[in-house]
Amino acid sequence: MITDTNKKKNRCITCNKEFNKNDKTKPFCSKRCSYIDLNNWLEEKYLVIGDIEDYEKDN
Ligand SMILES: [Zn+2]
């Protein structure tokens, strides 16, 4: 079984910076990076939704 306890440091998936394990912001080094990632994710989602709205104009 693979456990995280082997690693002392995590790498932020947003800025790729090493940071001490912190359950509050994991897997990001900070709240800011988690927002950045969420933003990127939402933007992609918005693009998809935009396409759907364009497809069925129900407004
Ligand atoms: Zn980061």
In a domain, 19, yes or no: no
Tokens for 36?
């950045």
Q: How many domains does the chain have?
A: 1
46 domain residue, yes or no: yes
Is position 27 within any domain? no
Residue ranges near ligand 1 (ion) with Cβ within 5 Å = 12, 14-15, 17, 29, 33
Tokens representing residue 29 in the block? 């080094």
DSSP classification of residue 19:
E
What pLDDT score was predicted for residue 55? 57
Ligand 1 centroid to Cα of residue 30, in Å, is 6
Ligand 1 midpoint to CA 56 (Å): 38
pLDDT number for residue 48: 67
Q: Is residue 48 part of a domain?
A: yes
Q: Per the domain annotation, does 50 fall within a domain?
A: yes
Helix (H) or strand (E) holding 10: strand 9-11
What is the DSSP secondary structure assignment for residue 58, as one 8-state letter?
-
Say how many Å lie between the CA of residue 17 and the centre of ligand 1.
Answer: 6
Spans of the chain below 70 pLDDT: 1-8, 22, 48-59
Q: Is the Cβ–Cβ distance between 9 and 22 less than 8 Å? A: no
The pLDDT of residue 47: 73
Which residue range forms the structural domain that includes residue 52?
33-59
